[in-house]
Amino acid sequence: MAELLQNLGGGLALSLIVALATGAVVMTALFAVAAVVVLARFAALAHRIAPILVACVGWSVAAALVAVDLSTAGLLQDPVGVRETALPTAIACLVAVLLAALVVRVALGRLSEATLGWSALTAASLGVAVAAGAAGQGGVALFLAGLLAVAALAVWRRLGAGPPVRALGALAAGCALATLLGAAPLTLRFEAERVGASAVALVGSAIVFGLVPLAVAGLIDARGRAEWFIALRYLVAKRRQTFISAITAICIAGVAAGVWLIITVLSVMNGFERTWREEIIGNRAHFTVHHSAGSFENYDEVVERLLAEPRVTGASPFFDAEGMVRGENGGIAGIRIHGVDPARIGSVTDLEQDLRAGSLDALRPGDDEEDPGILIGSELAGALGIGEGSPLVLISPFGGPPTPFGSAPRLVRFRVVGIFKTSFFQYDEVFTYVHIRAAQHFRRAGDVAEGMEVRTTDYYRSVQIARDAVAVLGETFYSVDWKQYFPAFFQALKTERVMMMILLTMIMVVAAFAIVVTLVMMIMEKSADIAILKAMGAEDGTVERVFAIEGALIGSVGTVLGLVAGLAVTSRLGWIQQRAEALVGIDALPATVYQGISELPAELDVTQIATVIGIAMVLALGGTWVPSRQAARVDPAEALRYE
């Protein structure tokens, strides 16, 4: 019985997950198509050259900012890279925007707004299905085919045959055929995957670079038309329609809250990632160089050849070992021994700044009269109860005297000459530093190095710099970038950031449905006014644009308010944290949990902000499509019958 209930619960949970995923896909597709249709309506109003040029230039500048942010370490974090790439990127974006606007303008002259929207959905979805089928993900393509077939049947029963039904039917058939690509030859699959990805990229580029600036130009061009006047009057309702005004304010507040929370939360997560990244880079070099055969000799010559690269600021050899350590009180702990050159290690890591006692100059290899020096972390020193000047015995599991049961452990005596402290407790518990010759002696190795630690002028470009530096050394050398030290850690941070953005986007989704409800209520209230407008000769497109402009204004005002609030809160996050902690009397960031971080870090990302703004506007514009179509279908005779 228990097993049956468990299976039923698992099946129910799976059904709910599938239903939620299906609903999310359908909702995303509908909002995307609706937003494209609404943008096409606005773009059809663009006739004068001046607004089109202004919109294209402004949009190309915004696109260039995002492109530069993606191609560099960030607009605020990498000023050198920004200066190098800003001008060519801006020119390329301007050319792309002008060409895309021209293509979209020609398409608008030949296709209706609805046909353009459904065509974009067809091309993009078919591209996704082809790419998924070619990549061996036939289940994705088959799922899309079934979903689109059901959608086509539902639309046909509701609206009859038309462009939406034909588009959905063709798309379902194409997705079903795309599942066969998984059995195609490998070369054909590669080509199909490339074609599918290219189709999605072309559709997206046409919308982002062409349709959006034309829509902005259309709104500017239509500023003096009746649609704008009526939309603004409807938004500022009279006294007897205060309820609609209140709901409109709630819609604006919902969009603003979503934008504000997403920007703030993502900025905090970016700040934590930056803090961990800086700590990792401070404790480790930007990249390391290794030999394919393992250890190598003549490492001083390798250092000089690496330093000959102009973008390399420091290089230091290292030799690692592992063992156990025993303190004066008999405590034993496993450690990692990092043999370094004291004269060079300061140029590739922040070890010298992290020292709380002692100095790098005391890190000597040792001789018959003096024990070799060792630097240990503060956590290890506290666990063993030792300090600067204390003796320390390192235990190697290999190299000791032979016994009937094998080699006995070998003991080597060191003396603590310094204690360092970083923001990583685990690092301070495990890592120790000794002279490279002491590490070689501990492992009974010759005068060799296991690798080179290298620091560069720009750690964001360390991959390219490492590739150029290794090319000088020869094919037997290879490099490991700092991003490869803890790949799972950084991937976990990215996954958390994406999931948090998806969850917080639900706030804006609720606000989008509130916009739909608000416009429907407004249409019901203003049905007589709409009937009079149509009786006076107003076309369906005019009525549709009135309510589309209302939705665009609600979304724009909410987005701007959310953006301002997000930037303001992020910039004053430390002050807000201090006031909140003083009010509730709770430490928000305990040092034992967050490893020395006492204040919420934050880092704004231009690309993330642009993405949030885009999502908010797509939801706001997409929410106006159904109500505006309902308004355009008002029958003047029926609406005015009882007036």
pLDDT in tens, 601-640: 888 888 888 888 888 888 888 888 888 888 877 777 776 7
| pLDDT of 186 higher than 70 | no
How far apart, in whole angstroms, are the C-alpha atoms of residue 367 and residue 165? 86
| 295-313: b (≥16 Cβ within 10 Å) or e | bbeebeebbebbbebeebe
Is the pLDDT at 144 greater than 70? The verdict is no
Indicate the pLDDT class of residue 378, thresholds 50, 70 and 90.
confident
75 versus 539: the higher-pLDDT residue is 539
Provide mean pLDDT across the span 458-475.
82
Q: Which of 488, 500, 486 is nearest to 424 (CA)?
A: 486
| pLDDT tens by residue, 506-518 | 878 888 888 888 8
Q: Identify the pLDDT of residue 140.
A: 63
Residue with tokens 């360092």: 420
| Both tokens assigned to 582 | 């003083």
pLDDT score of 97: 86
pLDDT of 321 above 60: yes
At residue 284, does pLDDT exceed 60? yes
pLDDT number for residue 561: 92
321: nearest Cα among 450, 429, 218, 172: 450
The pairing of beta strand 391-396 with beta strand 373-377: unpaired
CA dist., res. 159 & res. 7, Å (int) = 41
**Could you tell me if 641 and 536 are in contact, meaning their C-beta atoms sit under 8 angstroms apart?**
no
Q: What pLDDT is attached to residue 30?
A: 76
Confidence at residue 45, expressed as pLDDT on a 0 to 100 scale: 83
Token pair 């204040």: residue: 599
Residue 405 has pLDDT above 60, yes or no: no
pLDDT at 81 over 70: no
* Residue predicted with more confidence, 127 or 100: 100
Tokens of 353: 């700044």
Q: Is residue 366 within 8 Å of residue 374, measured between CB atoms?
A: no
Across 117-126, 283-292, 473-482, least confident range: 117-126
At residue 439, the pLDDT reads 87
| 138 close to 132: Cβ distance less than 8 angstroms | yes
To the nearest 5 percent, what fractions of the chain are helix, strand and coil?
Answer: 70, 10, 20
- Interval 156-173: pLDDT, tens: 666 666 666 666 666 676
pLDDT band (50, 70, 90) for residue 75: low
CB atoms < 10 A from the CB of 581, how many?
13
Residues 6+ apart with CB under 8 A from 170: 122
Q: Match 């100059």 to its residue by tokens.
A: 361
Is the confidence at residue 300, as pLDDT, over 70?
A: yes
pLDDT at 408: 63
- Of residues 629 and 454, more confidence is placed in 454
Residue 340's DSSP bridge partners are 318, 435
Most confidently modeled range among 100-104, 399-403, 635-639: 100-104
- pLDDT above 60 (res 419): yes
Count Cβ atoms below 10 Å from residue 554 Cβ, excluding itself. Answer: 27
Q: Give the C-alpha separation, 580 to 587, whole Å.
A: 9
pLDDT-derived band of residue 560, with 50, 70 and 90 as boundaries? very high
Between residues 109 and 142, the one the model is more confident about: 109
pLDDT at 74 over 70: no
User: In the chain, what's the furthest Cα-to-Cα distance?
Assistant: 111
Q: How confident is the model at residue 564 (pLDDT cuts 50, 70, 90)?
A: very high
Mean of per-residue pLDDT scores for the chain:
79
Give residue 429's pLDDT.
83
Query: Is residue 240 over pLDDT 60?
Result: no
Portion of the chain with pLDDT greater than 90, in percent: 1
Overall pTM surpassing 0.85 (yes/no): no
Least confident stretch, 128-132, 222-226, 613-617: 128-132
pLDDT at 163: 61
pLDDT tens figures, 488-500? 777 777 788 778 8
Residue 107 has pLDDT above 70, yes or no: yes
Percent of the chain whose predicted confidence (pLDDT) is above 70: 78
More confident residue, 229 or 280: 229
Tokens of 7: 């299976």
Q: Cα–Cα distances in Å, from 223 out to 45, 51, 219, 231, 553? A: 10, 11, 6, 11, 13
336 pLDDT above the threshold of 70: yes
Q: Whole-angstrom Cα distance, residue 84 to residue 282?
A: 26
Identify which of 52, 88, 66, 67 has the alpha carbon closest to the alpha carbon of residue 212.
52
Label residue 73 by pLDDT band (50, 70, 90): low
Quote the pLDDT of residue 233. Answer: 78
Beta-bridged to residue 316, according to DSSP, are: 453
